[in-house]
Amino acid sequence: MDARHAHAALSMRPTKSDRSDARGLAEILRMGWYREVTAKSFTSHERLALLAARRRLVAIRTDLDAQLRGLLKTFGLILGPGNTDALVRRAEALAEGQPVIGGLVTRLAEVRRHVVTQVAALDRDIRRLVRSEPTLKRFMSVPGVGPITAVAFLSTIDEPTRFKHARDVGPYLGLTPTRYQSGETDRHGRISKCGDAFTRTCLYEAANVLLTKVGRFSPLKAWGMRLVQRIGPKKARIAVARKIAVILRCIWVDGTEFWWTREEAKMA
């Protein structure tokens, strides 16, 4: 049972208690007024755990970079931009000759280098997974989609046939706008942000790469660039992210790859 739907139904009851909730859930089941939740496979949970571990380590690395900058800035030492090992070497050079500050920087740098090593190890695991999974290889034929996005989408959706239409993937991942309609009022709001936040972020970044970094044109990029001119870059990236999700689901079901030209689509 979908927890959001159950919460919305139970919130209408005047009394909140375990007994009242149990009776409310029983009434929901008896009337059939609920949405079933598809349980993900064990493999999907393993892959999501892999992505979560990498995401946490990247966040720790970012926090350590901020800690180094703040520590040195207090003493008038500006570290500057960057997120590679050159940043750490620059921090160690700035703190050289100061026993207390230098010792702190050395310890933070040691932890950061270890975290970076573990992130690289997880990246190798992800690349090894991509090489062993044909579906992930086909996902990466879409411009802007890398290993992280491909694995996140595969693990989050898990079973593509549970969506009757490809366009249903967008609402599932929270990439469609909310709507409030009552009488003469009909207002569209921001995207719902339902579903997995990390997968939604990956698709948004893939859309940004497609629109700003990918040089080769395709019908998808041309459509996205027209949206940028009409509704602005932010909304256009959201729309392209939803379109990428739809394309990935079609690639998954059909066993095809991304069509760079209309001729390829006609031949298929």
Please give the angle made by the CA atoms of 151, 155 and 158, to the nearest 5 degrees. Answer: 135
- Does residue 20 belong to any structural domain of this protein? no
| Domain match, 156 and 116 both | no
| Domain match, 96 and 118 both | yes
| Domain match, 125 and 196 both | no
The more confident residue out of 46 and 33 is 46
Q: Which segment, 32-41, 156-165, 198-207, 253-262, is predicted with the most confidence on average?
A: 198-207
- Does residue 239 belong to any structural domain of this protein? yes
The pLDDT tens digits of the residues spanning 207-262 come to 999 999 999 989 999 999 999 999 999 999 999 999 999 999 999 999 999 988 87
From 132, 153, 187, the end of a domain falls on: 132
- Does residue 37 belong to any structural domain of this protein? no
Backbone angles phi, psi at 188, to 5 degrees: -100, 130
Q: How many residues does the chain have?
A: 268
Task: Tell me the pLDDT of the chain averaged across its residues.
Answer: 92
- Does residue 84 belong to any structural domain of this protein? yes
For the cut 90, the answer to whether the pLDDT of residue 16 exceeds it is no
**Which pTM was predicted?**
0.87
Average pLDDT (58-76) is: 94
From 112, 132, 152, the end of a domain falls on: 132
Q: How confident is the model at residue 266 (pLDDT cuts 50, 70, 90)?
A: low
Given a contact cutoff of 8 angstroms between Cβ atoms, the answer to whether 175 and 245 are in contact is: yes
| Domain match, 260 and 145 both | yes
Domain of 127 in residue numbering reads as 42-132
Average pLDDT (195-209) is: 96
| Domain match, 119 and 179 both | no
| Domain match, 155 and 113 both | no
Q: How confident is the model at residue 267 (pLDDT cuts 50, 70, 90)?
A: low
Q: How confident is the model at residue 49 (pLDDT cuts 50, 70, 90)?
A: very high
- Does residue 9 belong to any structural domain of this protein? no
What distances in angstroms separate CA 109 from CA 63, 96, 99, 114, 190, one per listed residue?
12, 13, 15, 9, 41
Given a contact cutoff of 8 angstroms between Cβ atoms, the answer to whether 91 and 103 are in contact is: no
Query: What pLDDT is attached to residue 2?
Result: 77
| Domain match, 73 and 158 both | no
DSSP string, 80-146: -S--SHHHHHHHHHHTTT-HHHHHHHHHHHHHHHHHHHHHHHHHHHHHHHHHH-HHHHHHTTSTT--
For the cut 70, the answer to whether the pLDDT of residue 129 exceeds it is yes
| Domain match, 58 and 147 both | no
Q: How confident is the model at residue 15 (pLDDT cuts 50, 70, 90)?
A: confident
| Domain match, 145 and 123 both | no
| Domain match, 195 and 218 both | yes
Q: Which long-range contacts (CB under 8 A, 24 or more apart) does 109-118 make?
A: 109/68, 111/64, 112/61, 112/64, 112/65, 112/68, 112/88, 113/85, 113/88, 115/57, 115/60, 115/61, 115/64, 116/61, 116/85, 118/57
Q: What's the number of domains the chain is made of?
A: 2
| Domain match, 92 and 171 both | no
- Looking at the DSSP bridge assignments, the partners of residue 173 are none
Residue keyed to tokens 């190798």: 124
The closest alpha carbon to 68, from 85, 84, 87, belongs to: 87
The closest alpha carbon to 147, from 125, 169, 177, belongs to: 125
From 98, 132, 166, the end of a domain falls on: 132
- Does residue 188 belong to any structural domain of this protein? yes
Residue 23 CA to residue 167 CA, distance in Å, equals: 36
- Does residue 7 belong to any structural domain of this protein? no
| Domain match, 125 and 176 both | no
